[in-house]
């Protein structure tokens, strides 16, 4: 077990609020996350739970206004990223903290060749000249499985398939040997067969480059495939956090249990797929007490008024629930 | 490879456009009531005189023969002789074309040099003073008729404060006021489009990627977004230039410039059929060529279009 102080990146009590006129939406309500080198930390939640806001904060691109930090710090190598100016943050972005996005066809610039989209970073962050950058770009393409001859360098995004585009996107992200990689639903837009390839690629690169990885997904099945550690986020709060093994063996939070029950399973073929009733509350109308109580089968009076703390961090398996570990008939 | 194929395809389309327009003109001219030979010969002419004129015009032959002869003449770029002055239509057009070309290029330069930067800045600094200035500029450009602007400019800068010559077309200075009057309205259109296009591109996902890569805001906006934003601007600029090359009848009238617009206008007044039909085909060819060039430029900036 790694000690707390070895964390590569720590999110501490992070709170984010979006203001639209008189309406205030508390997208993040004090979340804690720790990321370690050579470890993939999966962040799981439904749409609107705050996954992407978390990644946006870490890379320093929270649109402000309307976004605003209400509390917390993001420590990277002991530096609070939230205290940096945009110019200072730019020396981290792409260089030390990189990001892979969900839909490569939208997130790659259609008007530039893949080569240019890789080499511009190398020239900017690593002061490489044109030839050095090109050599390095060819190397990178080989690394992500896009051929060793560098032919893809002269391709435009539209000339590549979906899987190739995502590989190119990954090549861009890892070009400057970042210490921390954010992968925001990197496989959601891909075919199932390609998903697995991309997941394996991310794992391979994590080991090769020793990166810490934040892997965001709405799909617990995908996270099970790739992550070493998993945190479950609900309505802007972490509700459960643990190593993958412990979490899947013994989920403590009813939300986590319900998420697991809704993973399609070949052994349950023919049965009805379990679903969680209701939906994630809007961030401007978070329920009182435990935000999950309107959808929770275990909810009682206490859950409606008292927000549970995230307990059990000491043994590496924490859950924020008054009824943590209790079971019921799903 | 893609580029070559695209080039050939667009060139064939250009030829097809010209063919269709030539055919249309041929039949429209034939549908118009009245025998041109009768108009030329006048009411008192003898039957033989009329026959001689018909033979000269070629209207004594069958319609398909006339059509083939017409297409052949277009290929040779020979539009026959003016029915009024007897001069070669091709020669008449090419005498006037340099003036129209100069005027159009200067007019479009105003569009490109003023409207595109102003439109892009308006988009980048939305709701700033820049943007309001751009808004006023484009509203004025679209609302003010070019002939009025031309007359006001003449009155102010050629009569009251005589910086520019009143009429003539000998020096560069002669073109400045007409180009301004012509370019202002065009610039307004280009500005609106440049702004709208840039606003749209700045909200695209790849802009987030560019920021996440740690690029400076200058690179994010003026490299990544701008290249995409320029695409529709190229197309509209090509179309505007094409229009201007067809001659600017009103501006040429206001500034007494002997350009294509006035040539065609007098051709219409005098029912000079050969001049009109030659003129229309010429304008169609020039317009198609400008569009062709704009398409090629577009495909260089946006390679995606080549495969679509």
Kindly report the nearest CA distance between residue A59 and chain B, in angstroms. Answer: 7
| Spacing of C-alpha A124 from chain mean position | 26
Residue A1 has pLDDT above 70, yes or no: no
Kindly report the nearest CA distance between residue B15 and chain A, in angstroms. Answer: 29
* Distance, CA of B170 to CA of B147 (rounded, Å): 21
State phi, psi for A44 to the nearest 5 degrees.
-115, 140
Residue A212 has pLDDT above 50, yes or no: yes
Nearest Cα to B288, choosing from B16, B31, B98, B9?
A: B16
Q: Is B1 on the interface with A (CB under 8 A)?
A: no
* Distance, CA of B41 to CA of B10 (rounded, Å): 44
First-to-last alpha carbon distance for chain B, in angstroms, is 14
Model confidence pLDDT, tens digit, residues A25-46: 888 999 999 999 999 999 998 8
CB-CB neighbors (< 8 A) of A158 in chain B: 303-304, 307
* Distance, CA of B30 to CA of B16 (rounded, Å): 21
> Which value, to the nearest 10 degrees, does the dihedral of the CA atoms of residues B145, B150, B152, B157 take?
150
Question: Which strand (E) or helix (H) includes residue A66?
Answer: none
State phi, psi for A35 to the nearest 5 degrees.
-120, 140
Q: B61 falls in which pLDDT band (50, 70, 90)?
A: confident
Angle, CA of A246, A251 and A255, to the nearest 5°: 145
Residue A233 has pLDDT above 90, yes or no: yes
CB-CB neighbors (< 8 A) of A92 in chain B: 214
* Distance, CA of B233 to CA of B198 (rounded, Å): 10
Please judge whether A109 and B224 are an interchain contact, meaning their C-beta atoms are less than 8 angstroms apart. Answer: yes
pLDDT > 70: what percent of chain B?
A: 98
DSSP strand pairing (A212-217 vs A40-44): parallel
DSSP-based three-state secondary structure for A5: helix
User: Helices marked H in B32-115 — which ranges?
Assistant: 36-41, 47-57, 63-75, 89-110
Nearest Cα to B244, choosing from B187, B172, B167?
A: B187
Residue B58 has pLDDT above 80, yes or no: no
Distances (CA, A) of A301 to A306, A328, B140: 9, 18, 66
pLDDT at A147: 86
* Distance, CA of A139 to CA of A132 (rounded, Å): 11
Nearest by CB to residue B205, choosing from A59, A101, A112, is A101
Q: B27 falls in which pLDDT band (50, 70, 90)?
A: confident
CB-CB neighbors (< 8 A) of A90 in chain B: 214-216
Question: Which strand (E) or helix (H) includes residue A13?
Answer: strand A9-20
CB-CB neighbors (< 8 A) of A101 in chain B: 205, 208-209, 212
Q: Which of residues 179-208 of B touch A (CB under 8 A)?
A: 204-206, 208
Mean pLDDT within A173-179: 94
Residue B1 has pLDDT above 70, yes or no: no
pLDDT at A3: 47
Model confidence pLDDT, tens digit, residues B162-215: 888 887 777 888 889 999 999 998 899 999 999 999 999 999 999 999 999 999
Domain ranges of chain B: 2-75, 91-270
Two tokens at B291?
């569009």
pLDDT at A330: 65
Q: Is B161 on the interface with A (CB under 8 A)?
A: no
Model confidence pLDDT, tens digit, residues A128-162: 999 999 999 999 999 999 988 888 999 999 999 99
Which of A97-111, A204-218, A306-320 is least confident?
A: A306-320
Judge contact between A16 and A28, C-beta under 8 A.
yes
pLDDT at A5: 52
Mean pLDDT within A225-243: 92
Two tokens at B48?
């033989």
* Distance, CA of A245 to CA of B180 (rounded, Å): 74
Q: Is the dihedral of CA B242, B247, B248, B250 positive or negative?
A: negative
First-to-last alpha carbon distance for chain A, in angstroms, is 33
Q: A123 falls in which pLDDT band (50, 70, 90)?
A: very high
Residue B137 has pLDDT above 60, yes or no: yes
Q: Report chain B's mean pLDDT, rounded to a whole number.
A: 87
pLDDT at B59: 74
Distances (CA, A) of A253 to A33, A49, A287: 17, 16, 17
Model confidence pLDDT, tens digit, residues A42-62: 999 888 888 999 999 999 999
* Distance, CA of B201 to CA of B119 (rounded, Å): 13
Q: Report chain A's mean pLDDT, rounded to a whole number.
A: 88
Which neighbouring-strand residues pair with A14?
A: A31
pLDDT at B29: 79
Two tokens at A39?
């470890």
Residue A265 has pLDDT above 80, yes or no: no
Please judge whether B214 and A91 are an interchain contact, meaning their C-beta atoms are less than 8 angstroms apart. Answer: yes
Residue B277 has pLDDT above 80, yes or no: yes
Question: Which strand (E) or helix (H) includes residue A177?
Answer: none
Please judge whether A93 and B213 are an interchain contact, meaning their C-beta atoms are less than 8 angstroms apart. Answer: yes
Two tokens at A104?
């490569």
Which domains does chain A show, CATH number per domain? 7-96+189-319 (3.40.50.300), 106-175 (no CATH)
Kindly report the nearest CA distance between residue A265 and chain B, in angstroms. Answer: 34
* Distance, CA of A231 to CA of A247 (rounded, Å): 9
- A interface test, pick of B204, B213, B217, B304 with most A CB neighbours within 10 Å: B213
CATH code, residues B91-270: 1.10.3720.10
Judge contact between B82 and B272, C-beta under 8 A.
yes
Q: What chain B residue is nearest to A126 in terms of C-alpha separation?
A: B214
Model confidence pLDDT, tens digit, residues A313-329: 777 888 888 888 888 77
Nearest by CB to residue B209, choosing from A92, A107, A159, is A107
Q: Is B209 on the interface with A (CB under 8 A)?
A: yes
Question: Which strand (E) or helix (H) includes residue A31?
Answer: strand A23-35
Q: Which of residues 172-191 of A touch B (CB under 8 A)?
A: 172
């Amino acid at each position: 077990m790694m000690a707390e102080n070895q964390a590569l990146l720590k999110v501490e009590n992070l709170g984010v609020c979006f203001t639209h006129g008189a309406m205030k939406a508390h997208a993040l309500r004090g979340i804690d996350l720790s990321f370690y080198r050579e470890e993939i930390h999966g962040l799981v939640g439904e749409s609107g739970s705050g996954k992407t806001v978390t990644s946006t904060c870490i890379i320093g691109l929270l649109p402000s206004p309307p976004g605003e930090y209400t509390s917390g710090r993001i420590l990277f190598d002991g530096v609070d990223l939230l205290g940096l100016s945009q110019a200072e943050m730019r020396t981290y972005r792409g260089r030390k903290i990189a990001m892979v996005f969900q839909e490569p066809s939208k997130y790659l610039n259609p008007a530039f060749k893949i080569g240019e989209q890789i080499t511009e970073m190398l020239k900017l962050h690593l002061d490489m000249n044109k030839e050095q950058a090109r050599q390095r770009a060819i190397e990178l393409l080989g690394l992500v499985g896009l051929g060793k001859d560098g032919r893809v360098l002269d391709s435009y995004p539209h000339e590549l398939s979906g899987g190739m585009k995502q590989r190119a996107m990954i090549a861009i992200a890892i070009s400057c040997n970042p210490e921390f990689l954010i992968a925001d639903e990197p496989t959601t837009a891909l075919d199932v067969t390609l998903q697995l390839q991309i997941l394996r690629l991310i794992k391979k690169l994590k080991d090769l480059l020793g990166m810490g990885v934040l892997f965001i997904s709405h799909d617990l099945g995908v996270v099970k495939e790739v992550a070493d550690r998993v945190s479950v986020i609900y309505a802007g709060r972490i509700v459960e956090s643990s190593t993958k093994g412990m979490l899947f063996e013994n989920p403590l939070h009813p939300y986590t249990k319900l998420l697991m029950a809704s993973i399609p399973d070949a052994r349950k073929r023919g049965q009805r797929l379990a679903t969680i009733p209701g939906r994630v509350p809007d961030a401007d109308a978070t329920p009182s007490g435990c935000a999950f109580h309107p959808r929770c089968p275990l909810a009682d009076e206490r859950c409606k008024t008292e927000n549970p703390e995230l307990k059990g961090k000491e043994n590496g398996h924490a859950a924020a629930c008054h009824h943590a570990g209790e079971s019921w008939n799903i | 490879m893609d580029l070559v194929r695209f080039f050939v395809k667009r060139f064939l389309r250009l030829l097809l456009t010209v063919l269709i327009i030539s055919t249309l003109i041929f039949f429209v001219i034939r549908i118009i009531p009245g025998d041109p030979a009768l108009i030329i010969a006048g009411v008192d002419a003898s039957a033989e005189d009329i026959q001689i004129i018909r033979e000269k015009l070629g209207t004594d032959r069958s319609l398909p023969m006339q059509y083939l002869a017409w297409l052949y003449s277009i290929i040779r770029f020979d539009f026959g002789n003016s029915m009024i002055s007897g001069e070669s239509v091709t020669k008449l057009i090419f005498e006037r074309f340099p003036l129209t070309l100069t005027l159009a290029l200067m007019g479009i330069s105003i569009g490109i040099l003023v409207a595109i930067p102003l439109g892009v800045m308006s988009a980048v600094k939305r709701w700033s003073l820049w943007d309001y200035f751009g808004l006023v500029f484009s509203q004025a450009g679209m609302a003010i008729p070019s002939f009025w602007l031309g007359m006001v400019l003449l009155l102010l800068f050629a009569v009251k404060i005589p910086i520019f010559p009143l009429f003539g077309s000998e020096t560069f200075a002669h073109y400045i006021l007409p180009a301004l009057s012509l370019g202002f309205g065009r610039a307004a259109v280009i500005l609106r489009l440049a702004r709208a296009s840039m606003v749209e591109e700045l909200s695209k996902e790849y802009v987030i990627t560019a920021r996440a890569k740690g690029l400076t805001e200058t690179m994010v906006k003026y490299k990544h977004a701008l290249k995409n934003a320029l695409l529709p601007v190229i197309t509209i600029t090509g179309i505007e230039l094409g229009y201007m090359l067809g001659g600017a009848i009103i501006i040429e009238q206001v500034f007494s410039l002997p350009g294509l617009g006035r040539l065609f206008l007098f051709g219409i007044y005098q029912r000079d059929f050969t001049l009109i039909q030659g003129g229309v085909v010429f304008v169609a060819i020039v317009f198609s060529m400008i569009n062709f060039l704009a398409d090629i430029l577009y495909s260089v900036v946006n390679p995606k279009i080549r495969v679509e």
